[in-house]
Amino acid sequence: MSSKKRRDIPRFKSPIIETHCHLDYLEPEDMESTLKKSLAVGIERIITIAVSVDNLDRVMDLTKLSPCIWGTQGIHPHEAANYNDQVDATIREHATNERILAVGEIGLDYFYDHADRAVQRSVFEQQLQTASELNLPVVIHTREADDDTRDILRNYSALLKCKGVIHSFTSSLTLAEFCLSEGFMLGFNGITTFNSAENVREIVAATPVEQLLLETDAPYLTPVPYRGKPNAPYYLPFVAERVATIKQLDIEVLLQHAYANSLALFFSQGSRQV
């Protein structure tokens, strides 16, 4: 690796909300440092995402560590085989807590196929139903599953009054246009900075600024210029910079839109109003 010093993380005037990361995947000793460094570069709130039966409780515990940490509850498609009525009951119980903002991470993943596709579809539908009954937005993962994602969302979109976000969007323009037309937001992360990700930058360019969110998906997908290091919420300013460049917007204007979008989606739901 080059010994050339990487550029310092920029600090902008506008606050930033980290809408998707996995704090429980960080080393425990890194948590305090991560929060301190994130706040220092303007990350005002962090949403840590549940993905499995094993971390539903852990996410709940993390939201108690700091007033800047919020969470979700849901089962990732990789873990779909572990979803059952008891898990649904746990998600519903935890979702009554004001620190839980959404049902997620849910969806379909046909790239890795860690769970049977029919099971993935069924669990996705069940969790969409749960979100609709809880009146919460959803955080959706979709990979190599455009057609089924569109078909399922077409059936449930009208029931989801709070809509949600397709996070880490890397799918087709066709799916993007469908999701946007249904009122969903699209989440963008460090992939926007990768040399090979021109397709994602095209989606960013096509996404109305009123419907985009910023995220890291930490500890994954570290943006340039820190690729090769574990990702963290404090790298989010690099994502914001790249998205602003793609959208041909002043960085502060982009950040103000992303902040307003984050508030509208996650922090304006009944008792979650802040």
* CA dihedral for 255, 239, 68, 87, sign (positive or negative): positive
How high is the pLDDT of residue 199?
98
- Contact call for residues 215 and 19 (beta carbons, < 8 A): yes
- Contact call for residues 130 and 96 (beta carbons, < 8 A): no
Q: Which two tokens stand for residue 142?
A: 């979709």
CA dist 254 and 274 (Å) reads 22
* DSSP secondary structure letters along 88-115: HHHHHHHTTSTTEEEEEEEEEETTT--S
Given a cut of 70, whether residue 273 has pLDDT beyond it is no
Phi, psi of 15 (to 5 degrees): -70, 160
Given a cut of 90, whether residue 27 has pLDDT beyond it is no
Given a cut of 70, whether residue 3 has pLDDT beyond it is no
pLDDT tens sequence across 182-208: 999 999 999 999 999 999 999 999 999
pLDDT tens sequence across 103-141: 999 999 999 999 999 999 999 999 999 999 999 999 999
Across 18-34, average pLDDT:
91
Task: Select 16-272's CATH number: 3.30.1360.170, 3.20.20.140, 3.40.190.10, 1.20.1580.10.
Answer: 3.20.20.140
**Total residues belonging to the chain:** 274
Given a cut of 70, whether residue 269 has pLDDT beyond it is no
How high is the pLDDT of residue 28?
72
Exposed, middle or buried: residue 218 (CB in 10 Å: 0-12, 13-18, 19+)?
buried
Given a cut of 90, whether residue 57 has pLDDT beyond it is yes
Q: Which of 68, 5, 55 is nearest to 26 (CA)?
A: 55
How high is the pLDDT of residue 2?
46
So where are the chain's domains? Answer: 16-272
